[in-house]
Amino acid sequence: MTQRLDSSPLAAQLSDSLNSAFDQRVVLQEASATWRPSPLPGVERWMLDRVGGEVARATSVVRYAPGSRFDRHVHGGGEEILVLEGTFSDEQGDHPAGSYLRNPPGSAHAPFSEEGCLLLVKLWQFGPGDTETVRMNTRLTPWRQGLVPGLSVMPLHEHNGISTALVRWAPNTRFNTHRHPGGEEIFVLDGVFCDELGRYPRHSWLRSPRWRQHTPFTGEEGALIYVKVGHLGAPMLSPQI
């Protein structure tokens, strides 16, 4: 039986919003994370942002204990997943750490993890007409040269001006001062990412509003980051809240 869960079980069952003012800069770090239980025992979430209650646009880090699973369910607004640790599985197969998945609006699956896993999950963040299914193992995908020496880029997805990529920073790399007209969201996968406002270690999450200027760089550690740009203020499918 397939459940109709427009927010998916990975969304929080809450009646309020979190970091829902998209014109404000937000920085969260794993050291101060609050983990909340999901409707299913063994699955917890560190909520980063959300708009709405149980049915919501949401970004979370989701942690599956070994052997955890969900019933088959529908994603009314689509789901984007980056596997951070362990192996995430569904009817399409096993998706090890480094897998990037996009399940478009209306898709359904029954996810589980035999060994346990950690995921970055975004719900209800597909633009109108974005129906592409993506299954990518970033550990096997080639990198492209970035705009400055020491920078490598791996495009993950692009639709209507919204771009998602992995960016690898060699130690002591500095990028030009620039602005993001459509905003920017970063999740640090490894190393330490920096800008003029601070240092952001592994599993830090940053969301910068539209038109904010910064000058990013790395120190001796280098960094690997997930980056999404152009999506803040862009048209998105809306859950019926």
Q: 30: helix, coil or strand? A: helix
Q: Which two tokens stand for residue 46?
A: 């560190």
Q: Residue range 146-165: average pLDDT?
A: 97
**Cα–Cα distance, 17 to 155 (Å, whole number):** 30
Q: Residue range 136-148: average pLDDT?
A: 97
Residue 13 has pLDDT above 50, yes or no: no
- pLDDT, one tens digit per residue, over 71-128 is 898 989 999 999 999 999 999 999 999 999 999 999 999 999 999 999 999 999 999 9
The pLDDT, as a whole number, for residue 219 is: 98
Domain extents in the chain: 3-137, 138-229
Residue 4 has pLDDT above 70, yes or no: no
The pLDDT, as a whole number, for residue 225 is: 98
The pLDDT, as a whole number, for residue 9 is: 43
The pLDDT, as a whole number, for residue 240 is: 58
Q: Residue range 164-191: average pLDDT?
A: 97
49 within 8 A of 59, measured Cβ to Cβ:
yes
138-229, what's its fold? Jelly Rolls (2.60.120)
The pLDDT, as a whole number, for residue 5 is: 43
Residue 2 has pLDDT above 50, yes or no: no
3-137 against 138-229: fold identical: yes
Q: Does domain 3-137 have CATH number 2.60.120.10?
A: yes
Q: Residue range 148-163: average pLDDT?
A: 97
**Cα–Cα distance, 236 to 27 (Å, whole number):** 23
- pLDDT, one tens digit per residue, over 188-217 is 999 999 999 999 999 999 999 999 999 999
The pLDDT, as a whole number, for residue 16 is: 60
- pLDDT, one tens digit per residue, over 29-80 is 999 999 999 888 899 999 999 997 767 899 999 999 999 998 898 989 999 9
Residue 137 has pLDDT above 80, yes or no: yes
Q: Residue range 164-177: average pLDDT?
A: 98
What is the per-residue DSSP string for 63-80? Answer: EEPTTEE---EEETT-EE
